[in-house]
Structure 1
């Protein structure tokens, strides 16, 4: 097992963010990672130790509790350092049991407690760890600081593997830094991103001890800028942008009305803070009440406007323990900017057996990038879809095409606080619709479709996008944020049709369980498939799993295992299993199996001894839509599991449906899935 010891060169280098980013980066490589923060630091008795907390909650790791800093100081002061180190090594070995790599977070150098530097060295030695230094790239004399820290570890016989520069300014010169620090490898340069520091409006309210007048989306809106409304309204209007927190006295009715108008127009302001302990005028509040139903939070503070703005600027930058979303974004940003090859040196990968959720997401994006496919998005004026297309364009995940009016799309993007990249393609349906009439008439001539009927059907952007796919102008289609599943699938069945050898269209969800990724099918399309159809769904789901790096072991789920049960329902599953095995001898399929017999090794060995699937299934095929949909939602909600999908299978070309409650990230992953499907279908 490789052990990495993450050691900061000074205080406030972003140690927790970088350390957990390293964990995420290693998980992305399908490694089993352990994590431990041996000694808590900068923590009061009432606070949660954030590194361990986020490692448990986001990385799904079993992390031991950190030792209190006071306890460690006491042990060192009474010359019981050896006992302390033995306790730390035992804790670390427990955290790293069965792991390919163990990440250990060290202590900040603390002038008030000189034991911290000494203890970092002793912990690294005791764990036989490779040290990764973390430093603040914007600090003065940073190169000298890195060399001093490296020398301190090397003089004690500790191997220093590399350095990560965090908070790097735009003008950071990596080549000059390499020359300045000598032979020490640079394992990452993490650019400073102020958006990752944005607190929630709720965090600001707690910091100010402000009264919440209107809650709105207090826990969702984020503050990227504080606007003190001390000038005339035309000056204030220019700064009514997404993420702006407006600070104003409650008697500035002109500012209140301007803020309400911006909120009504869809601008995602962070909120409104009323100062001087003032209230909203009743008449103004009644007049603007619709604006305050858009999610705009309104707070009230005792201080004056400038004092309040100063206090807002002093909101702690550390990620609060309950802000999982922000820490996830921070970790992913760090992971994407690390030198993977450097981190992977010497790591033992023999223990890797399952595709972990972080590795699945990472490989999904990497495969989509290499596919470089064109994906049409018929709901091009929908806010989440626009944001997802921008992410895909900026990260090179796919070449997205938004169907919609450019002016409308740009206006929606502005309200979301994002900018349309020049390279992102927008196609106005009004300008292109006519050119698809003739091809559509040709495709549907057996149904007697006329040009007038075709033109009318093409007014539906999903139909228009499907025609683009049908004549190979694009490689895939993603829809469903504001359309039903039927609206998405029907045009595909009419114009794309099923793939050769397929008689039905089905779906799978990728269930991102804590330790591995499972495939559930069919949970979205076919209400009550026959035995023949169920066998086809099993094969489709197995090949989908294989395409995404999951070794398919297919369990045909029923209420009975093996020959123990009778009845029409279990007989259907038994017949489907026999058909699936006969048609796909190269696949590992077994059934009927109860869910516990398929998923729990001990139960599987007891109920189906000798089965190659029982207790180790990776693909679960449910007997009907009622069972499948209920099970996937129960697992998703009860176990807090992320599900990616549904991904449609069985079509000649990839078309995928979204949940109408889909988040931007959900749409991004679905676009990536679609791009990979397109690559596999070539």
Structure 2
């Protein structure tokens, strides 16, 4: 049977779902197969439980690996009949079924919010014992003083020990940020020696989204943008005249007003379209009053959602104020904040050492992408994003900041960037915005550029003009060490992104060309394809350069490089100039890196299939087990990576540029927010290697 961990609340409102999510993220990176089990769920069956749904989608878990148990109604019925043992037996049975498909299972107990919290506590402790798994106790510190929170920790310890539970660790969650340091000193591990971690309350997690408010109040959207992830930073009831109301309106406010207040509607719209005024997160029109018909065409243009509510303004405002944010809502920004908090406050190595879970044998795409974030975070770097007028860039920047991956600078006119962000509900707190036109660095950068390009006739006047270009300005930030790397290309061509790097960042010593690889995330491993994006027809030396750089990139990202120099011929079976070029390049790679496992020329099938390799190239250390594939030209490489991506379902991450003195990476103009997040993480990892 798989090992498991029982996440148990010891106080109401502890925020244990955040702990379960953080724990799952940690375990997913260190075990081949994780599972999730929630013994008691609300609703008709476990399939509709929001936490079960979040875990399934977030970690790509099957129904066999992630499920709920019985409903609270069923459990209460059995308790009323004195059949407590039936509850235990059913939960043990489901846990055993999940365990057959997992290496470790996270069990999330009840919330202690029912009528008898003492009974729920005893039920959680009993289930943990019957499942023979340790307890990760979660103590809620919201609204508690240092002494009260410390006392709650001690009570939880004593009660769990009294129930004969094995205590793994204690999480003190939702603590006032101002008392965290003192609370950490107060809640020592104690005689048990079990660690205690303190997680502060984060406003960006605690604040409900407009979608959570709409769901809780069952209100209908009638106009505006379909954007339910906007945070509700405050609640404003528009009971005063418009002039006074605008003085108290702020960014992210949820405005509540009667449905016949056309003046308030127009004021909210006007405010959202003006860069000097705040943008509300949403507008609720109360009293069941429909706006006048001619107002709907205006409200349709609102950059925030507009709802109608049947109750009066006071009742609606009270209901909104009672809405709680839940991590299981699955909003990616909220999840990003939760995982960033977990990573900063919890010693994962300590927890993993206590659990002693088996090492993972497979590298799944999801695990690889999660590890990218953790590796980027491990040694903090500073990345510049030149395309501040692209909303995808701003959304990605917010996710990266919430997950605390790296420091970020976004380029663009600050008023334009902030207006775009506010209109889309993007929070740029903690992100530096620099306008190349007004930056204090512009003169310094222009002088440097003029000096570096003087042989091309560039003077200071021309250099000042060039530094107005965000790509050149961002690249100069990298060159002079103001930042550690750059990611661009969402709104610019590859040539526009790379050209400044070629002009003055230059290639590393011994490297003649800039090339690229795609990290191909297969179901159980990571392959490296190069060059699929930059060099159309590399010659022998360039092909060798690409192979050597690709092997280094593979090592950077945890792939043991076994290099296949691809051709239409394997070994000495074929002839021709194209085959000879690959053969010569292979010899050059061996000469420059005698320690590197490399084979070529070799066909793709012989490089990946052990049976074919045995017949075509027996005894090779690369054939049948290659991890780095070097294509003879761009046409072959680009078509192959896309064919593999589309036919096998592999995730292609890249292109990752290599060979430069400092990391600069290019995005596809069709990139998603997730693509940008991953590329920034890759760039930060590359910057770690530079130093």
| TM-score category of the 2 structures, normalised to the smaller one | 0.7 to 0.9
- How far apart are residue 649 of structure 1 and its match? 0.8
Which residue does 2:507 correspond to in 1?
498
1:348 matched to which residue of 2? 356
Structure 2 residue 246 is the aligned partner of structure 1 residue 232:
no
Structure 2 partner of 1:36: 36
**Aligned residue runs from structure 1 range 116-265, under 5 A:** 117=121, 120-138=124-142, 143-172=150-179, 173-175=182-184, 177-178=186-187, 183=192, 185-214=194-223, 216-265=225-274
SS of 2:232's equivalent in the other structure is coil
Deviation at 1:494, TM superposition (A): 2.1
CA distance in 2, matches of 1:423, 1:463: 18
How far 1:543 moved relative to its partner? 0.6
Which is worse superposed, 14-23 or 47-56?
47-56
Equivalent residues in 2 for 1:99-498 (5 A)? 99=103, 101-108=104-111, 117=121, 120-138=124-142, 143-172=150-179, 173-175=182-184, 177-178=186-187, 183=192, 185-214=194-223, 216-265=225-274, 269-286=280-297, 288=298, 292-293=300-301, 295-315=303-323, 317-319=325-327, 323=331, 326-327=334-335, 329-348=337-356, 351-353=359-361, 364=372, 368=376, 373=381, 375-379=383-387, 400=408, 403-404=411-412, 418=427, 428-429=437-438, 432-470=441-479, 474-498=483-507
CA contact (8 A) 1:5 1:105 kept: yes
Tell me if the contact between 1:24 and 1:335 (Cα under 8 Å) persists in the aligned partners: no
In 2 relative to 1, CA 356–431 (structure 1 residues): closer, same or farther, beyond 3 Å?
same
SS of 1:296 mapped into structure 2: coil
Distance 2:75 2:490 in 1: 53
Residue 461 of structure 1: how far off its partner (Å): 3.0
Residues 87-133 of structure 1: per-residue CA shift (max 9 Å, x gap): 2452253143xx3x543333445666987555544443344422211
Q: Distance between the aligned counterparts of 2:570 and 2:120, measured in 1?
A: 58
TM-score (norm 2): 0.80
What secondary structure is seen at the aligned counterpart in 1 of 2:559?
A: coil
**Aligned counterparts of 2:210 and 2:689: Cα–Cα separation in 1:** 44
Q: Distance in 1 between matches of 2:502 and 2:226?
A: 40
- Measure the CA separation in 2 of the matches of 1:198 and 1:125: 36
Cα shift at 1:163: 0.7
* 2-structure distance, mates of 1:174, 1:145: 12
Give the Å deviation of 1:233. 1.6
Mapped pair 1:45 → 2:45:
yes
- Change in Cα spacing, 1:325 to 1:154, as seen in structure 2 (3 Å) is same
Query: Which residue does 1:20 correspond to in 2?
Result: 21
Give the match's secondary structure for 1:499.
coil
> Which consecutive residues of structure 2, in runs of 5 or more, have no partner in the other structure?
none
Separation of aligned partners in 2, 1:61 and 1:35: 7
Q: Per the alignment, in what secondary structure is the counterpart of residue 539 of structure 1?
A: helix
Question: How far 1:196 moved relative to its partner?
Answer: 1.9
| Residue deviations 1:489-541 (CA, integer Å, cap 9, x gap) | 11211222322332322223445666555544334333455565444333222
Distance across 2 between alignment mates of 1:233 and 1:655: 49
Q: Deviations over 1:457-508 (max 9, x none)?
A: 3332322343454455554333334322211111211222322332322223
Question: What are the within-5 Å matches in structure 2 for residues 642-681 of structure 1?
Answer: 644-660=653-669, 667=676, 669-681=678-690
Distance 1:654 1:224 in 2: 37
| SS of match in other structure, 2:662 | coil
| Equivalent position SS for 2:355 | coil
Provide the residue aligned with 2:9 in structure 1.
8
Q: Does 1:90 align with 2:101?
A: no
Distance in 2, Cα, partners of 1:323 & 1:603: 47
Q: 1:259 to 1:637 in 2, by over 3 A?
A: farther
On the 8 A contact 2:667/2:676 being kept in 1, the answer is yes
Name the residue aligned to 1:67: 69
Distance 2:309 2:162 in 1: 54
8 A Cα contact 1:390 1:424, kept in partner: no
Moved more, 142-151 or 52-61: 142-151
Quick one: distance in 1 between partners of 2:475 and 2:3?
50
> TM-score by structure 1 length?
0.81
More displaced stretch, 69-78 vs 442-451:
69-78
Deviations 1:376-407 (A, max 9, x none): 54446666656767887898755655555566
Structure 1 residues 493 and 33, CA, compared in 2 at 3 Å: closer, same or farther? same
Deviation at residue 225 of structure 1 after TM alignment: 3.1
Residues 296 and 397 of structure 1: CA distance in aligned 2, closer, same or farther (over 3 Å): closer
Mapping of residues 563-578 of structure 1, within 5 Å = none
How big is the shift at 1:189? 1.6
Find the aligned partners of 1:455 and 1:194 in 2 and give their Cα distance: 42
Cα deviation, residue 258, structure 1: 1.7
Deviation at 1:156, TM superposition (A): 4.8
Q: Measure the CA separation in 2 of the matches of 1:80 and 1:71.
A: 11
Instruction: Measure, in 2, the Cα distance between the counterparts of 1:555 and 1:439.
Output: 41
Q: Aligned partners of 1:564, 1:307: CA distance in 2, in Å?
A: 82
Whether contact under 8 Å (2:279, 2:422) holds in the other structure is: no
The superposition leaves residues 20-48 of structure 1 with CA deviations (integer Å, 9 ceiling, x where unpaired) of 211213345x4445223162323333852
Question: What RMSD over aligned residues (CA atoms) do the two structures have, in Å?
Answer: 4.6
Separation of aligned partners in 2, 1:597 and 1:14: 53
Matches within 5 A, 1:636-647: 644-647=653-656
Compared CA separation, residues 315 and 479, structure 1 to 2 (3 A): same
